[in-house]
Amino acid sequence: MVDRSFWKCAGCSTSFVLRVSWAYNVDHLFRFNCPSCKSELDGQLVINFRTTDGTLLPPERWDTFLRIEGAQKLTESQVVFNEQTAWITIFSDLPIDAAHHVQRGKDVPLYGPTMFTMACLDKKVFEYGKRTEHIYSLPENDIKVLKSAFNAFKRKDLENAKSLLDKVSFSVPKKSHHVASICGITYSSILIPFVGPFVHSGIYLEFIDKMLSLDKMNTFVIPKQLIDSGRFESILNLHFELLGSLIDNKLILSIALFIDMCPEAVRESLVITANYPELVLRIYEQLCEANHTFVKIFVGLMNIVNRGGIHRFNRTNIKDFGTFFERATISTSLDLVTEHPGIGEYFNTNLDRKIRNAIAHRSVQFTPNGQTLNSTFSGEKYSIDYPTFLMKLLGLSQSILFFTAVLTDMNRIVTDIASNGG
């Protein structure tokens, strides 16, 4: 549906028509620039689908509430319509505008704005539609139950964790340490159909196969290292925090997915209208940290498969995996993982050290139109456009979902073996 309203910029008094399309979400945040003075205007559209007792209202009674910081609301009669009148379209259910951010003097009545944007996807529109539909039909209540189950597991309230899991998963936790594994796998299976699969999962499984053919016990060297060093729990906590953030920020992921499927020619004309740059930076930073663990595990796997031992690095100055795991910087790990061309390129592209360092040192700024990130870190200037940044964020989300399932299951297997006396 489209909410059409009339506004005047508080800075330059230019009036404009604003169309906000919306679909399934209650709360829509967006950002755009005044068509005349270009100052940033932040908007929020809230839709009331239900009465206070939770009953779903019929569509004609859905209430919309639109607020724009830095602009005044006008009535239709207060707007002068001529060739210079600016029409601004925001797709709040997919906060993207393809080329027609501001149209002067005309409304485009043929398609709704979302349909217009979807048309950019060409043949991929059905795949995209399927994926986004998946996220909108996510059982949010199930996710809350999963979070509670994991929290109960952390509090060592195992009976509670088991009974909560029983409501959302077909897997029955036979033992208490199975809870985290079931939470991880269920979470991943809920989100992977939306963000897409980790393209190198096959390579990971090949590594495991090769290790099994070399020496069965090798397979458990790495997870044992994580458990023995006491790092396992903090890694899992970070993962579960991240999975929650990914679900809360499904709109950002929708944009990334859209860009991923867009033809190259359309990509350049995209304007992203979402208003959560700060949040996006924080999630990217967390994704980098969580993926760093994955990169280090790959380095260990390559040591075993390529040189026959976890401590055998392809660099002479690193002597043992434990110390490497505890102390390696992201740069060292990324340099080492380039030993495998495919995996190396994947992580070096998506885990962008320059952006990650600049975010960690709080030296990244969005340009006023929100379409570019600029940073200066250690005197070095770096710019990246927002769509490219979101693609990296999507890449890291795909690997982390795969990794969460792998990691929680590694923990289960190792603990199973230990509790069965090896």
Q: Where does this chain bind Zn ion (CB under 5 A)?
A: 9, 11-12, 34, 36-37
DSSP string, 99-112: S-SEEES----SS-
Q: How far apart are CA 105 and CA 247, in angstroms?
A: 39
Q: Are 387 and 369 in contact (CB under 8 A)?
A: no
Q: Are 43 and 30 in contact (CB under 8 A)?
A: yes
Closer of 72 and 141 to Zn ion (Cβ): 72
| DSSP count for the chain of H helices, then E strands | 16, 13
Count CA within 13 A, CB hemisphere, residue 259.
26
CB of 90 to Zn ion, least distance (A): 16
CB of 32 to Zn ion, least distance (A): 11
Sign of CA dihedral 19, 21, 26, 30: negative
Closer of 40 and 157 to Zn ion (Cβ): 40
CB of 36 to Zn ion, least distance (A): 5
Task: Return the ∠ at Cα 226 (arms to 225 and 230), rounded to 5°.
Answer: 110
What does DSSP assign to residue 132?
H
Closer of 14 and 249 to Zn ion (Cβ): 14
CB of 92 to Zn ion, least distance (A): 21
CB of 15 to Zn ion, least distance (A): 10
Closer of 85 and 186 to Zn ion (Cβ): 85
Closer of 12 and 119 to Zn ion (Cβ): 12
Residue 22's closest CA among 120, 90, 104, 118?
A: 90
Q: Are 286 and 242 in contact (CB under 8 A)?
A: yes
Closer of 8 and 224 to Zn ion (Cβ): 8
Q: Are 401 and 183 in contact (CB under 8 A)?
A: no
A 10 A CB-CB count for 5 gives 18
Residue 344's closest CA among 336, 353, 355?
A: 336
Closer of 34 and 270 to Zn ion (Cβ): 34
Closer of 9 and 274 to Zn ion (Cβ): 9
What does DSSP assign to residue 216?
G
Q: How far apart are CA 236 and CA 288, in angstroms?
A: 15
